[in-house]
Structures are given as structure tokens and as C-alpha cells.
Amino acid sequence: MYKILQKYFGYTSFYPLQEEIIKEVQRQRDTFVLMPTGGGKSLCYQLPAILFDSLTVVISPLIALMKDQVDGLLANGVPATFINSSLSYKEINVRRRSLSKNEIKILYIAPERLVMPEFLQFLQGLKVSLFAIDESHCISEWGHDFRPEYRQLKLLKDRFPGAPIMALTATATPVVQEDIITQLKLSDCKVFKASFNRGNLYYQIKLKDEPYHQILQYLEGRKNDSGIIYCQSRKTVESLAASLQTAGYRALPYHAGLSAEVRTESQEQFIHENVEIMVATIAFGMGIDKPNVRYVIHYDLPKSIEGYSQETGRAGRDGLKSDCILFFSYADRVKIEYFIEQKKDENERQVAYKQLRELVNYCESNVCRRKLLLDYFGERFDEPNCGSCDVCLEPKERFDGTIATQKILSCVYRIGERFGINYVIDVLQGSKKNKKVLQNRHDMVRTYGVGKEYSKSQWQSFIRELIQLGYLRQEGDKYPVLKLNKKSWEVLLRTERVFLAKAEEPHYIPPSETGEVYNRALFELLRSLRKTLADQEAVPPYVIFHDTSLKEMSTYYPRNLQDFRRINGVGERKSDKYGDVFLKEIIGYCKQYNIAPKQAIHKRRELPKKQMKSSTVQETLALHKQRLTINEIAQKRGLALSTIVSHLEKLILDGEDVSLDNIVDREKQERIRRSLKELGVKVLSPVKEKLGNDYSYGEIRLVRAKMMCEAK
């Protein structure tokens, strides 16, 4: 297995579960593989296919993808082919003949063609070692992408009782999973579920005020990176694409209103890297296998959490750091509510409201984005700091918000738990403008006008957080009203203190910078070399090498074929075919700039995934190791102090070698420890209060992290 992994794919280790899955397949067992996008599903059937002595049939609904996948396999020296409606009758016959001669290891085919009686008969005449059913959720009516032609795949088990079936999907709902297994009649099937955490994705919500300029700012310095910008309407798609073109970006529009030819053409342009940016409605994306999509931007609010995670999932399949940015505004929310109102069907309306509420909660939350997403799909995520979302990297400071909370709760109580957020705030602020307040005589309640110390948006933020923390609940979909619960009373009766995020006016969070260690200039040279070769061979650039490989080349500067072979993603075939041209480019570059090869190349194999993932954190670590103070690091990197603290906190929690003594005075550490032990580690405000102004939150957090690590 390892030999084949290295020889054909150029990898030295498996992704989680791949090895276990492949072993089960070799035992002829049916398997069900649930992995997120980018989890490495294809290898699970491609590798055993090479090991088996007869044919592996891969069933996929995405005809457009088959050619690229086959090209990818051929480039690695694996005999593969596809049969679909894009081929002439004559060409199909040629391919059938080589199948009959057992010259092919892997055949890609669409379900409707596979189940044609004549074709089934033909296949039965060959020996099939394995059926791999990609996108297998298409068989289930419960899923989001039901395709009737998948239903017929039921007959595989009866017609080919000897061949194991592997069903693969990235759809996480349990009902669908159950349905797939039943429909395909998988027997004694072994189920594999990978974590859906996409560690290389950075999640960020931005308040949408001037989105076009915000996008331009983001794109600055990313001219060569591929990305998708999702918009809600065709009109926005057209106008944004046009504006970006005018601004000098290679961008194309994509939506269902364009003809099929135009859409296919645009998709090709994107995959072949003739354009970098797709501005699209959600019509775009299914079947986009492009591994190096570096960012997915939601210009408008997505439809649901599920949609959002599918769309963002298209970023960073290759495991390299990529950004998922969502622009959120209340105006958008109101617009969507308006659309929901237009829906005739009451049921549909309810569902849409629920989806909107979940999404808005996600955007407004002060809880780690990753945690919320994983929670949504039923996976637990307990790390205190994920290190790769805006909430974790720019945590808001908290304060003792007990009084503010009491004001809110008692106001809700006094006006009879019958009003929504904004009404409550109007009462708190003693609004004279809201006529309803006066009509209802709520200017007479005790809490009228007691909340002038905070702005409206601050009160909104407090209330939203209280809802999330479970001190208040919202009832009703269209005009949700605030209600109290058991937890509310614990605060009202003064037994519990509440800590809230300080609600400042929103500040700009810098986009995640690429603190990766590779040589950007060389990377660009290699990228353009790759593009030239790809165009010559009429394949997408990623078929030649993935970005991961180019980045490693620009990190380790291999000088000979032996070193070249050590680069991740360089197998035998590719090293033979491309080694010389790439080495020439690299060596030339190194000569010109006097760069010595890195000795560490033999270590490349151990390059931990983590290091690749959050290189910005690694950069902080590197500077810390050079004995720079936190302040100096912050200054040097142009990042907020709190960001550097979060980095160090994460590093400590990851067990990295951070010497706290250089950051926090020994004596101070001791006092912080004592206070944490006394007052608990969960909420830091009481600790901070006790210690006084000589101690910063940052210092307390770092000591806490160290303590947690020791306790592990």
C-alpha cells in the first residue's frame, strides 16, 4: 500500500481513515465513507483499484468532471478511462475493447449509462473488483441533490454479488446516510466517518458596509489566487463581475440565466486558470474539483447553514490555508425576510425562517465559528481556541455585565414578555419616538429609560449574546418576542453573575495574511511554468501539480531528481515527466538569487499538517523563539496585541515550546495561578478584577493556558 501511495501518488502518508478504509476494501467488504470535501475520498478507491487485478468502476453523476479525473490518473501512470455521452460511438467502442482486454484499472461512468441492460451485460462479462459510488447521497430523496437515475443502482448488489461496493459522500445528515445504505443494499457494511472539521479554512464574518470596496481591499495582492464570490441575485453577479473586470481582475459571471455553453466555457476558464474569479449564484460549484480555490466570499447572506458550509467547503480542498468570508448586514436580513414573506406555502416559509434564524445566530455569535458549524452537524468541538476563525483570533474582551443583564431581563418581564429586541431597547433607552411604547404606557414601567449608558447597537449585541448563552429565549419566527426562562430568574434574583462581550463599534479585522514560509516569487514562476505545460497538454493545471507541491518546491528548492521525488505529490511518473523542467527553473532561480538548498528536505515528510495549516501562528512562534516580546511581535507583524496573545495561547495549548517566563514575570505568574485556582478558570473577569490593573487579560489567559496544559 505504501509503495503504491508513493509511486503513483507521490504521498508518504495517509489522511485519516484512508488506510483503514482501503484495508476493508481489500477484504472485499462493503464500505460507507463519509468525509468532508478535501478529506481525500478518491484515494480510498483509486489505490485499491491499482492493487486489484481487475476493473474498478467509479460511478459519478458529474460527467464534466470525469475527463479531469481520468487525466489526473493518467498523469500519475494509472490506466483509467471514462465512458459518457460526450464520446462518439466509435470512441466508446475503442474504450470497450481495451476494457475487455483488461488494460484498464479504473472506469468512470454515469449511473444512467451503467444500468443500460446491454452495458450491464458487457460488464458482467468482465470481472469487476469494486464499485465506488461517488456522491452517493444522490440516491436519497431525503438529501439535497436527489437524482432518480441513482435509484437504479439498487440492482448492483444482485447483479454483481461478488463485488464490494463503496458508497462515498460528504453529506452529513444521518437520515440520508441510513437511506444510502438501505437503498444500495449494502451488507454488513463498515461505516467510516471522518471529522468534518476543515482545519485549513479560516472563517470570518464582516459587517457589510461598503462590500465592493471591502472586496477590492481583500483582493489586493491576491491577483493570482483563485476564488469564488457568491451573490444572491443574477443582477448582482453581472454587475460585480463587470466592476471587477474594470478594476483589472480576471473575473467571470456565472448563473443559471446564462446558456449551458457559456456556463461550461466559464467553468473551464476557471479550472484552467485563465480567469481567477468566479462571481456566481449558488448555481455554481457542484462538481468543481479545483483544489486551489483560495477564498470563498459570500457577498450576500447564504440561504442556510447547510448551504453555507457546502459553498465554503469548496475552498482549500488541497489542505492549504484558505479564507471563507461572509458579508453580513441587517439590510440583507430584512431583504430575505421580505422574500420569505412572498412564499405561498406556509411550511416552506417556516423552514426558510428557521434557516435564516440559524444563519443570523451564526453571524452574530461570539462563539467560535468552527464550533458552531460542527455543532450544527452533530460533531463536538471542544478546543478553547480553534486558531482559525475571527472569533478565536480576535476575541472580544468581556466585562461583568450582570447589571446590564438585569436591566434587560427585568424590562422583558415588566412589559409582559410580549415584545421583540428593538422594542425592549426602546423602552430601556426611554425612547420618545416609538409611539407604541407610549401607547402601551411602557413609559411608566420602572425600567423605562434606565439604559442610556449604552448605544442601541451595544444593547443589541448584549441581548443577542444573552440569547446565545441561554439567559433569554426568542419565540415566534416572523416577529420573535423575548421571553424569560429559568436561567433568567437566577440572574434576576441576584445569585448569578453574567459576563458579556464588550460591544464596541465593529472594527476592521485584517484578512488572514499569508505568513507561509515558501518563496512567493519562485512559486509564481513555477505556477506559470505549470500553466504553460497544462495548456500544451490541454489539462487543468492541477493535473500537472497541485499548489501544495509547488509550495514545497518553493520552500525546499530541490536540486536533483532525488530531492524532487521527496516533494509531496511527486510520484514516479511525474518526476520522470516533469522533473527536469521544474528543476531547471528552480536551479536557475536559486543561482540568480544565491539561494542555498534547504537541508531540511529529508524532513519534509514529517512536516506536520498543523504547521501547514496555521502558518500565521507559526510565524508568531518563530518570532517568540527569537525572544521578541509580545509587543514587538505585534508591531513587527502589524497585528493586534490580542491576536498575538491568542496565537501564543493556541501554541501553548498545542503543547508547543513557549517560554512563559519571557512573557510574564515569574512572580506575577504565581499570583495569577493562585487566583485562577481560587476563582476558577472559566470566566476571567473575576480573576482580573481581583488582580487589578497591573495584570492584563492577555497575561491571565497565557498562564491559564499553561495550567490547562499541565492538567492534561
Q: Which positions lie near ligand ADP, rule CB under 6 A?
A: 11, 14-15, 18, 35, 37-43, 291, 317-319, 546
User: Residue 590: which of 649, 533, 519, 530 has the closest Cα?
Assistant: 519
Asked if 389 touches Zn ion (CB under 5 A), the answer is: yes
**For ligand ADP, which is the closer residue by CB, 198 or 398?**
198
**For Zn ion, which is the closer residue by CB, 275 or 648?**
648
Choose the one of ligand ADP, Zn ion, none that binds residue 42, judging by a C-beta under 5 to 8 angstroms depending on kind. ligand ADP
Of the residues 57, 156, 326, 368, which one makes contact with Zn ion according to CB under 5 A: 368
| 392-421 binders of Zn ion (CB under 5 A) | 392
Choose the one of ligand ADP, Zn ion, none that binds residue 291, judging by a C-beta under 5 to 8 angstroms depending on kind. ligand ADP
Asked if 315 touches Zn ion (CB under 5 A), the answer is: no
Asked if 650 touches Zn ion (CB under 5 A), the answer is: no
**For ligand ADP, which is the closer residue by CB, 1 or 587?**
1
* Max intra-chain CA distance, the chain: 90
At 661, list the grid cell.
Answer: 517566563
**For ligand ADP, which is the closer residue by CB, 61 or 319?**
319
Q: Which stretch binds Zn ion (CB under 5 A): 59-67, 206-214, 224-232, 367-375?
A: 367-375
508 DSSP assignment: P
At 539, list the grid cell.
Answer: 489539462
Distance CA 159, CA 673 (A): 68
How many residues contact Zn ion, by CB under 5 A?
5
In the complex, the smallest distance separating the C-beta of residue 310 from ligand ADP, rounded to whole angstroms, is 12
Distance CA 165, CA 189 (A): 9
- How do 398-400 and 499-501 pair as beta strands? antiparallel
Choose the one of ligand ADP, Zn ion, none that binds residue 370, judging by a C-beta under 5 to 8 angstroms depending on kind. Zn ion
Asked if 653 touches Zn ion (CB under 5 A), the answer is: no
In the complex, the smallest distance separating the C-beta of residue 394 from Zn ion, rounded to whole angstroms, is 10
First-to-last alpha carbon distance for the chain, in angstroms, is: 35
Distance CA 518, CA 551 (A): 6
**For ligand ADP, which is the closer residue by CB, 15 or 499?**
15
In the complex, the smallest distance separating the C-beta of residue 5 from ligand ADP, rounded to whole angstroms, is 7
Choose the one of Zn ion, ligand ADP, none that binds residue 43, judging by a C-beta under 5 to 8 angstroms depending on kind. ligand ADP
Asked if 370 touches Zn ion (CB under 5 A), the answer is: yes
Could you give the residue ranges of the DSSP H alpha helices within 415-540?
421-428, 435-439, 456-469, 486-492, 520-537
**For ligand ADP, which is the closer residue by CB, 56 or 460?**
56
Within its chain, how far is the Cα of 239 from the centroid? 27
User: Residue 318: which of 182, 198, 149 has the closest Cα?
Assistant: 198
Choose the one of Zn ion, ligand ADP, none that binds residue 318, judging by a C-beta under 5 to 8 angstroms depending on kind. ligand ADP
Using alpha carbons, list the distances in angstroms from residue 537 to 391, 433, 544. 45, 69, 9
Taking CB under 5 A as the rule, which mask of x and - marks residues 444-483 in contact with Zn ion?
----------------------------------------
Q: Are 660 and 700 in contact (CB under 8 A)?
A: no
Half-sphere exposure of 555 (CA within 13 A, CB side): 20
In the complex, the smallest distance separating the C-beta of residue 292 from ligand ADP, rounded to whole angstroms, is 9
Choose the one of Zn ion, ligand ADP, none that binds residue 35, judging by a C-beta under 5 to 8 angstroms depending on kind. ligand ADP
In the complex, the smallest distance separating the C-beta of residue 199 from ligand ADP, rounded to whole angstroms, is 13
Distance CA 631, CA 664 (A): 12
At 645, list the grid cell.
Answer: 496573545
Choose the one of ligand ADP, Zn ion, none that binds residue 386, judging by a C-beta under 5 to 8 angstroms depending on kind. Zn ion
Could you give the residue ranges of the DSSP H alpha helices within 143-291?
148-151, 155-159, 174-183, 211-219, 234-246, 260-271
User: Residue 381: which of 568, 652, 198, 113 has the closest Cα?
Assistant: 198
**For ligand ADP, which is the closer residue by CB, 237 or 570?**
570
**For ligand ADP, which is the closer residue by CB, 1 or 283?**
1
Q: Which stretch binds Zn ion (CB under 5 A): 65-73, 82-90, 305-313, 379-387?
A: 379-387
**For ligand ADP, which is the closer residue by CB, 176 or 658?**
176
User: Residue 613: which of 200, 103, 187 has the closest Cα?
Assistant: 200
Helix (H) or strand (E) holding 34: strand 31-34
Distance CA 567, CA 551 (A): 9
Label residues 403-418 b or e (16+ Cβ within 10 Å = b). ebbbbbbbbbbebeee
At 352, list the grid cell.
Answer: 426558510
What amino acid is encoded at 708 in this protein?
M
**For Zn ion, which is the closer residue by CB, 547 or 649?**
649
Choose the one of Zn ion, ligand ADP, none that binds residue 52, judging by a C-beta under 5 to 8 angstroms depending on kind. none
Choose the one of Zn ion, ligand ADP, none that binds residue 429, judging by a C-beta under 5 to 8 angstroms depending on kind. none
Asked if 386 touches Zn ion (CB under 5 A), the answer is: yes
Binding residues vs Zn ion (CB under 5 A): 368, 370, 386, 389, 392
